[in-house]
Structure formats: structure tokens, C-alpha cells
Amino acid sequence: MWYVPATDTVLTYGQRYTHPDTGEVYGGTDYNDPAKLAEIGAVPLRIEQPDTGFDAATWEIVDDPENEGGKLKRPATTTPWTITPADLAAKANAVVEERTRRLELLTVSYLGWTIVADPKAIANLTSIVAAKTAGVPIGDAFPWPDASGAVQMLTPTQLVELGGVMLQATLPLYTKSWTLNGTLAVITDAVVFRAVDVTADAYWVDAEEPSSSSSSS
């Protein structure tokens, strides 16, 4: 006779089981001791094995209809894994994380300079432009660092242009993420869904082409 404890781990006479709370090891003749079996919540396990065409890795353990209180191990009668709302949410979160990672690495080309265009840089530039629009005097030339750390002096008009270039560079990444989420939402094959690697360049690479502006006022 085989037994299965509360963990659904199959026990045979040649195996040992360590109690998760006490650390006591069970094995051998312990499986003939009703008290020992009761302590670990073990119940009789019947195995229903077809003659051919089975994959033990996909088997399931269910209540045994022929042995009250016992368990039955058999080939799974349903798909081993299906796509659930939680699975979709996890993939969607992974898409957002990957988009954020790529946004943080984003740079643009402006007036021949390579400029960091990550979310922090965009937020800083947006604040400066908003202050200028609100009438805060910032002068005719404003210092802005390029990707190498060299400071470039930009006019208020150039600051606005640079902000536009930065925002345009982010849009393809957002579009790609929305497209990817849409693709995931219509996949019905669980194996195909699980295999989708949302970090793969194939989903993002053409969204990372730098934007550029050729001149300024």
C-alpha cells in the first residue's frame, strides 16, 4: 500500500518523509503504524495507471471515489495548466517592468549631442519648461548636461524642443508595451502563453531608435 500525507507527497516503503514541524523522519515500518500515519495526515493512496500512453509528470491526486477518506493518483483529466486572470496580470506587470527598464536607458540625439531621456530627465525638463511658461525668469541660456556629463547651454525655445524630442522617443516604447499586452490577452494556448519572454528584444528593439532634432531657433 502507498500513502500520501497532507503535502500530497507519495510515500512508498523505500522512501522517507520528514515531518515539516517536528523534523522526525518516517520510513520503513512506520507505514504500518496507523498512529504514525495519522500524525502526518497520511491516507491510503490508490494508483490508477493506464497500460499505455501516460505521462506521470501530468498526473493528479484526487479524492478516491472507491475508498472513502483515501486518495487516487491518476493521469490528469484536465489541462495541467490554464491561463488565469492572475497569470495575465503577472505578464502585464512584467511588460510594465520591462518598459520601465528600457525607458530608464533611453537617450536621444539633439543638435548633435546625445542626451539622457529617462523618466527623471523628462520630469526635470518638464518642470523647467513649466516654470518658464509660468513666467519664472530662467534667462536666455539654460545649462543642460548631455550624456557624457558636458554642460550645454540651451535657449528656452531649445528646451521646449528637447522636451518634445524626449517625449516622442518614449511613445514607441509605450506603444510596443500596449501591443504586447494585447497579444498576450488573446493567446489561448497555455504553453504558448508561458513561453512568451516579454524581455526579448524582438518585442522592443525598433522602439529604441533615438529621435533627433536637426536645428534650433
Are residue 69 and residue 89 in the same domain, yes or no?
A: no
The predicted pLDDT at position 213 comes to 39
Query: Does residue 32 register a pLDDT over 70?
Result: no
* Sign of CA pseudo-dihedral 192, 197, 202, 203: positive
Are residue 149 and residue 204 in the same domain, yes or no?
A: yes
The predicted pLDDT at position 48 comes to 73
Are residue 68 and residue 142 in the same domain, yes or no?
A: no
Please indicate, yes or no, if residue 120 is contained in any of the structural domains: yes
Instruction: Give the total residue count for the chain.
Output: 217
Checking 87-91 for CB contacts under 8 A at 24+ apart, the result is: 87/193, 88/184, 88/185, 91/181, 91/184, 91/193, 91/196, 91/198
Please indicate, yes or no, if residue 80 is contained in any of the structural domains: no
Which pLDDT tens digit goes with each residue over 71-84? Answer: 777 776 655 568 88
pLDDT band per the 50, 70, 90 thresholds, residue 206? confident
DSSP label at residue 24: -
Q: Are 59 and 76 in contact (CB under 8 A)?
A: yes
Please indicate, yes or no, if residue 59 is contained in any of the structural domains: yes
The predicted pLDDT at position 124 comes to 93
Are residue 113 and residue 62 in the same domain, yes or no?
A: no
Q: What's the rounded mean pLDDT across residues 50-61?
A: 62
pTM: 0.58
pLDDT band per the 50, 70, 90 thresholds, residue 102? very high
pLDDT band per the 50, 70, 90 thresholds, residue 186? very high
Q: What's the rounded mean pLDDT across residues 65-92?
A: 76
pLDDT band per the 50, 70, 90 thresholds, residue 104? very high
Please indicate, yes or no, if residue 207 is contained in any of the structural domains: yes
Please give the residue range of the domain that contains residue 54. Answer: 2-75
The predicted pLDDT at position 35 comes to 72
Residue type, 82: T
Number of domains in the chain: 2
- The 3-state secondary structure of 63-81, one letter per residue: ECCCCCCCEEEEECCCCCC
Are residue 92 and residue 52 in the same domain, yes or no?
A: no
Please indicate, yes or no, if residue 20 is contained in any of the structural domains: yes
Backbone dihedral angles phi then psi of residue 17, each to the nearest 5 degrees: -130, 130
The predicted pLDDT at position 66 comes to 78
Residues near 98 by beta carbon (within 8 Å), at least 6 away in sequence: 177, 198, 199, 204
Are residue 59 and residue 127 in the same domain, yes or no?
A: no
Are residue 59 and residue 106 in the same domain, yes or no?
A: no
Are residue 110 and residue 158 in the same domain, yes or no?
A: yes
- C-alpha triplet 35, 36, 40: angle, nearest 5°: 115
Q: What's the rounded mean pLDDT across residues 151-176?
A: 94
Residues near 192 by beta carbon (within 8 Å), at least 6 away in sequence: none
**39-48, 160-169, 179-188, 190-199: least confidently modelled range:** 39-48
